[in-house]
Structure 1
Amino acid sequence: MLHWFSDGNFPLYLAPMAGVTDLIFRQICKEMGADVMVTEFVSAEGIMQADERTRKYTEFSEEQRPVGVQLFGADGERMGEAARKIIDKGLAGRRPDFIDINFGCPVNKVVSRNGGSSLLRDCPLLASVANGVAKAVGDDVPVTAKIRIGWDADSVNAVEVARTLEDCGMQAIAVHGRTRAQGYAGVADWDTIDAVARAVAVPVIGNGDIATGEDLAKRKRETAVSGAMIGRAAMQNPWVFREAKYFLETGKCMEPVPMQERWELVLRHCRLAVDSGRHGNERQTVIGMRGRLMAYCKGFPGAKELRQKLCQVESVAAVEDLAAGALEAYQTTTA
């Protein structure tokens, strides 16, 4: 059993999101109360070809444990070799706590290569991938999987897929309550997530539309899931983990995070990203962060104007100036 589910624990996972859940953002969310981390998905072929850019996605710090490295691909043998390489060679400088297989990504460039959610249409192939990784890894580290509820509304097969994955040795299954066809639109189907959780003996982690402590409490109370995974809500509000745990413990909502603290986190993220040098020089890093900065500012006073300015920033100093101006305007209007 995965130790983070022991003693009645109900762990909160940070969902793996390409271009979002990098080393730094995972660090921030861990500080905010996220229990389990999963890396951005990593191409098994990239690992096998010793691609340095791909290997960077496997990096994590000791403070982030428990953390898993998520792989995608469609060749069970190659996937298994890649998983073995991650474990044996310590590509991240250390061994992960688990290997996770991506059977849920809806993005065209992954699906077109028969990876991610495309395997939901081919259960024998999905089983061969899961078996390939589980056999290659053996008892060294657990193997888990993430799925969607099906390819489209006419082929919702999450219960069947989950039973197959359990038979293949997966030790936990995360279920995003949407089909591949939905993308991120519509409402997550927690009835299907609940059905999956009741159909298998391994822990099931529910994912979809959890943005508040009330959302989390409802899903914990009304379904059989053993944990929850939070993704898009954390992009604009990484405090969601702290807020959700507080609600579970007290039944009350935390006070809103002060604007000063919100802006301090935005600036800290910028500085950490630049200092890491992982994305090039300062200008390249800040330009690459524009989308992230705009996500943070969703719901801020004057958000529309802020987003227009943030999509032009090229330096930390420019973000600092925007923060100072926004805070001054906010304090004036609330005085």
Structure 2
Amino acid sequence: MKSTLPWFSGRFPLYLAPMAGVSDKIFRQLCKEYGADVLTTEFVSAEGIFRRNERTRDYLDFDEIERPIGVQLFGANAEHMAEAARQVIDWVRPDFVDLNFGCPVNKVVAKNGGSALLKDCPALAGVAVAVVRAVAPMPVTAKIRIGWDADSINATHIARVLADAGIAAITVHGRTRAQGYAGAADWNVISEVAAAVPVPVIGNGDLSSAADVAKRRCETGISGAMVGRAAMSAPWIFRQTKQYLATGEMVDPPALSERWNFILRHCQLAVRAWDAEEPAIRSMRARLMAYSRSMPDAKRLREKFSHVSTLAEVEAIAEENILQREDAQLPAFVAS
């Protein structure tokens, strides 16, 4: 399939999903090291950019090593979305602009943003056309859900509307807005979308392992895959998936020591970014609890991580757990 996005040329790119409160610069760069091909910022309010809110602008920050990277915008006002996209280009010059038509969060939907636009095709088309024209020749992509609810699954129609508007690639999350993140993603609908439009379709939803990605690639005709929640607990999923797609051989997860070194490094980078240890480590609690899902004795670790406030506390937990696992693997001593 011909694409204006070079990372699709002869490749099956792996995207890190834009996740609010998760996909910050540090986490994006760590996932890049583990093999993520394409990154996207946390979603950014077009209204915040339009009104030149400095805090909103902070979400746009990225380093050159993160390329290719896109900035994801959400909003419902076509004129403001277009102007925000132009400002993004002027400020940070990303590789593409991504439009959020899939967010299920109430505060976004209440302002007719995110997945609310799935119920209003003319408004959605107006936003897409306005942004595409505003930033040309910069590529514009979009992320959608399969519909508002089970009675209004319209992803194929929406995708055609977006392709006609000049959208360069479409990510489809296989749930409705009503589902949120419950239930199973419907990959049959994603497959239908991939067959219906002449632009690359990136599949998203319930991709928890390299085998999941390979299965969906084979069955649906998607041109790429976007991994979200699985990367929160195991960012090495990108490396494992690339190896599996290339060779058919499953790569073991990193050794326990590597996983703990990764956790400590993430904490150290957070402290450096915050320039204040305790707020940084407290902000890491949810991330640490997510990482614990890929570790032995996850329940106990989650409890410990929920109370940490210093880097020394995290280091002590790491040392304790590494030593425990090493002791458990030593052969029993037998007196002669």
The letter for the 2-side match of 1:177 is G
Match of 1:185 in 2: 182
Match of 1:321 in 2: 316
TM-score, length basis structure 1: 0.96
Q: What is the Cα deviation at residue 217 of structure 1?
A: 1.0
Higher Cα radius of gyration: 2
Once residues 46 and 58 of structure 2 are traced to their aligned partners in structure 1, the CA distance between those partners, rounded to angstroms, is 13
TM-score, length basis structure 2: 0.96
What secondary structure is seen at the aligned counterpart in 1 of 2:160?
Answer: helix
Q: What is the Cα deviation at residue 308 of structure 1?
A: 0.9
Are 1:334 and 2:336 an aligned pair? no
Match of 2:135 in 1: 137
Superposed, 1:227-246 pairs within 5 Å as: 227-246=224-243
The letter for the 2-side match of 1:181 is A
Unaligned runs of 5+ in 1: none
What secondary structure is seen at the aligned counterpart in 2 of 1:13?
Answer: strand
Are 1:119 and 2:117 an aligned pair? yes
Are 1:99 and 2:102 an aligned pair? no
The letter for the 2-side match of 1:322 is I
Give me the identity figure in percent.
60
Match of 1:176 among 173, 176, 179: 173
Once residues 252 and 132 of structure 2 are traced to their aligned partners in structure 1, the CA distance between those partners, rounded to angstroms, is 44
Match of 1:36 in 2: 38
Match of 2:5 among 2, 6, 18: 2
Match of 1:297 in 2: 292
Q: What is the Cα deviation at residue 299 of structure 1?
A: 3.6
Match of 2:334 in 1: none
CA contact (8 A) 2:115 2:177 kept: yes
Once residues 17 and 294 of structure 2 are traced to their aligned partners in structure 1, the CA distance between those partners, rounded to angstroms, is 22
What secondary structure is seen at the aligned counterpart in 1 of 2:100?
Answer: strand
Mark the CA change 1:40 to 1:314 in structure 2 (over 3 Å): closer, same or farther.
same
CA contact (8 A) 2:211 2:241 kept: yes
What secondary structure is seen at the aligned counterpart in 2 of 1:297?
Answer: helix
The letter for the 2-side match of 1:234 is A
Once residues 297 and 76 of structure 1 are traced to their aligned partners in structure 2, the CA distance between those partners, rounded to angstroms, is 42
Unaligned runs of 5+ in 2: 331-336
Once residues 64 and 22 of structure 1 are traced to their aligned partners in structure 2, the CA distance between those partners, rounded to angstroms, is 11
Once residues 141 and 183 of structure 2 are traced to their aligned partners in structure 1, the CA distance between those partners, rounded to angstroms, is 26
How many aligned positions are there?
327
Once residues 109 and 194 of structure 1 are traced to their aligned partners in structure 2, the CA distance between those partners, rounded to angstroms, is 30
Q: What is the Cα deviation at residue 147 of structure 1?
A: 0.2
CA contact (8 A) 2:14 2:227 kept: yes
The letter for the 1-side match of 2:51 is Q
Q: What is the Cα deviation at residue 187 of structure 1?
A: 1.1
Match of 2:154 in 1: 157
What secondary structure is seen at the aligned counterpart in 1 of 2:98?
Answer: strand
The letter for the 2-side match of 1:204 is V
